[in-house]
Amino acid sequence: MSSLYEQLGGEPTIELLVTKFYHRVLADPMLAPMFDGIDPDRLEQHQRRFLAVALGGPNAYQGRDLTSAHAHIARRHGLSDLHFDAVLKHLAATLRALNADESAIAQVMTIAESTRSMVLGRSAQAAVA
């Protein structure tokens, strides 16, 4: 059986997904301030690598665990479930815009939801071992 990464179209799709996803996120007035001062190219590169691993693709992710990576946003902007839900909404909308299968979208959303505690700093467990 192929991985979710492969089902979605592999590297080209993940690259397009991340680019379009951040267009949506950065256009969201609630979320955009959280990315002030962050290099968007570097952010997208990390997100592409992280998603590849999370969706069963190649492991080239060398970033920090999710708790550490989001700690400064949590401190500076009060990162909350409201923000996380907005990000999930943009992720699902982006996948739908790319004509992803609803079953694949549901699987991606389950994986994304599984990171909530780590992103919001409720767990020190690393997301990628």
- Binding-site residue numbers for heme are 46, 70
Q: Which two tokens stand for residue 13?
A: 């799709």
The residue among 82, 29, 47, 49 whose CA lies nearest residue 38 is 47
Q: Which residues are annotated as a binding site?
A: 46, 70
Q: Which two tokens stand for residue 104?
A: 């694949």
Rounded Cα–Cα distance for residues 12 and 17 (Å) = 9
Rounded Cα–Cα distance for residues 6 and 57 (Å) = 7
CA 98, 49, 57 angle in degrees (round to 5)?
75
